[in-house]
Structure 1
Amino acid sequence: MKDNQQLWRWTSLAPLLLFFGALALLPVANILYMSFHTVQWAEGVSTWTPVGLENYERLPKDAFFSIGVWNTIVFSVTSVAIQMVLGFLLALAVVRIKWGSTFYKTIFILPILIPGIVIGAIWKLMLDFDFGVLNQINIWLGLQPLDWTGSVKLAMPAIIIVDVWHWTPFVFLLMLAGLQGLPEDVFEAAKVDGTGPFRELFKITLPLMLPTILVTLMFRIILAFKVFDEIFLLTGGGPGTATEVIAFSIFRTFFFENRVGLGSAMSFAVIFAVALLVVISLAAQRYAQSKG
């Protein structure tokens, strides 16, 4: 009977799984196939020329791709590290508040509810050199106004600030859910033993939260690795290549330079890197759960 129920579940779910599997795998297969060709259009007709591994061999030599990879790593590591710390601290503060926690939750999650195009417009105005609110504050404090999105030194930090403001609520929600799911008896026993707040945090809370932290970190690294909208709306990859991330490099190669084969090779390299990150994260999560 149990085997029949299991068979029925798999049989009933199979069409849906095949459909979503096709939606996910067919575009990837098409990109992979395209990456071994050069594609040219003439009079509405595309001509595909096989080039083997030539597009992949050109990746390390492509200036925009190399810069995009490096900027993406810098952006992802810095932004996600700040978000993880802030999100965890905010969740830790809210979970210990007895009154008004709903109000704080609502305030903290507001940025993640705003559409990306609106976020870009808001921050573009806030970072404007002439009338942006940040420079108005600088002038009020007696400081010089800063060219936040037009300076090579400040453009990437400005993008990181926007991303931290936008995505810290996501980390906050996952951390809050993890903290609320921790067993209370462990903390009650720690209080009976006279455990201090810092020892409780590092010896009890953080070890118990490790699986949640790893899952949150995996999601945020993947999403940060794919960042595009904030770059496109605020700096367009500039000034120069200061904010040229890998997603913008792919966009440029596909739609501005019309090198579809090379852009496909870039895309598949990113897909492979993200898949590798997922595998490593899942392995780390299993290891953490086994130790827990």
Structure 2
Amino acid sequence: MTTSQATAQRPSPANAAPAPAGTGAVAQGDQHLWRWISFTPALAMMLALSVLPIVNLVITSFQDISWADGQATRSFAGLAHYKALFSDNLFAAGLRNTVIFALAAVAGQMVLAFAMALMVSRIVRGRVLYRAIFILPLLIPGIVIGAIWKLMLNFDFGLVNKLLGLFGFMPHDWLGSPETALFSVIVVDIWHWTPFCFLLFLAGLESLPQDVFEASKMDGASAWQELVHITLPLMVPTIIVTFAFRLIVAFKVFDEVYLLTGGGPGTSTEVLSFTLYQRFFTEDKAGYGSAMSVAIIFIVSILLVIAISARRGAGRQS
């Protein structure tokens, strides 16, 4: 028997016996069930660590809590805590300062980080060294950053006033003056978090398609035209994600304010997180502090929704 005759006698796939009806559906159902079984522990942990505490926080925000003989006494307060937020001067000052702080600090970080990332992306030799130097502030613990800048901004022997004295300027109480206290905290936050934005921008620049830049150079585009018409449009998704993440984190600033100014002088550096700390832990107003926490979560959630919408809009345009 020849090879062609043997091949002809082999059953073709079309003549093969069909699979039992419903076998594929059963296998797909088993996979679906197994996925849910595998996902259940993670879902239960997420509910236990995030959803349940938030639910408890919301419930507590409608209650007054007092302590007697080590026991908590709860009484229903209704919307009284939420109404009190509108007449709380510290909350209003904290919200105003937080918005100013977040917008100013994040804007400064974005501009500096993008310039640094653009510079490093065009360096051929020594890129790793520059990257290591630029991310150093991000590796320093917050308590150390507070100590460093409190010494640098000290009125009597601070390095900043010493440098200003070399140019004939009088020393200034940077952290003790209401006019410059918030500005000083913003500068510290820019110094601290610019490396984070730098890393994200550098990763985004290095992932851009190089054929577009090569085509622009062949067309005679200048460096400025390349930046405005190619680099920035391609970097819009990365810029939006970085801005949104940093804005949300900036709204939760606490350690820098606590270490540098303690919310003072007056209410010049009062921020939402520090106001919440005072109400919840110092004044022991658990119900009112819970209501303030819910309000802060609501504000941050709005920012998150806006960021996601902007990111999707940029993705559709690109």
Please name the residue that 1:60 is paired with: 86
- Aligned residue for 2:275, secondary structure, equals helix
Inter-partner Cα distance in structure 2 for 1:56 and 1:222: 22
Inter-partner Cα distance in structure 2 for 1:4 and 1:186: 47
Q: Offset of 1:238 from its aligned partner? A: 0.2
Deviation per CA, 1:120-161: give whole Å up to 9, x if none: 111111111111111111222221111011000010010001
- Aligned residue for 2:59, secondary structure, equals helix
Please name the residue that 1:289 is paired with: 315
Name the TM-score, length of structure 2 as normaliser: 0.89
Inter-partner Cα distance in structure 2 for 1:25 and 1:40: 25
Alignment of 1:89-104 (within 5 A): 89-104=115-130
One-letter amino acid of the counterpart of residue 65, structure 1: F
- Aligned residue for 2:135, secondary structure, equals helix
Please name the residue that 1:142 is paired with: 168
- Aligned residue for 1:268, secondary structure, equals helix
- Aligned residue for 1:48, secondary structure, equals strand
Larger radius of gyration: 2
Alignment of 1:66-85 (within 5 A): 66-85=92-111
Deviation per CA, 1:234-288: give whole Å up to 9, x if none: 0000001000000000001112222211111110111111111111111110110
Number of aligned pairs?
Answer: 292
Q: Offset of 1:7 from its aligned partner? A: 4.5
For structure 1, list consecutive stretches of 5 or more residues without a partner in the other structure: none
Aligned pair partner of 1:176 in 202, 212, 228: 202
Inter-partner Cα distance in structure 2 for 1:10 and 1:274: 31
Q: Offset of 1:20 from its aligned partner? A: 2.1
Across the aligned residues of Structure 1 and Structure 2, the Cα RMSD in angstroms comes to 1.2
Alignment of 1:236-275 (within 5 A): 236-275=262-301
Please name the residue that 2:72 is paired with: 46
Please name the residue that 1:26 is paired with: 52
Change (3 A) 1:89 1:7: farther
One-letter amino acid of the counterpart of residue 298, structure 2: F
Please name the residue that 1:154 is paired with: 180
Alignment of 1:178-193 (within 5 A): 178-193=204-219
Deviates more, 1:136-145 or 1:204-213: 136-145
Inter-partner Cα distance in structure 1 for 2:240 and 2:143: 29
Change (3 A) 1:11 1:193: farther
Aligned pair partner of 1:204 in 224, 230, 239: 230
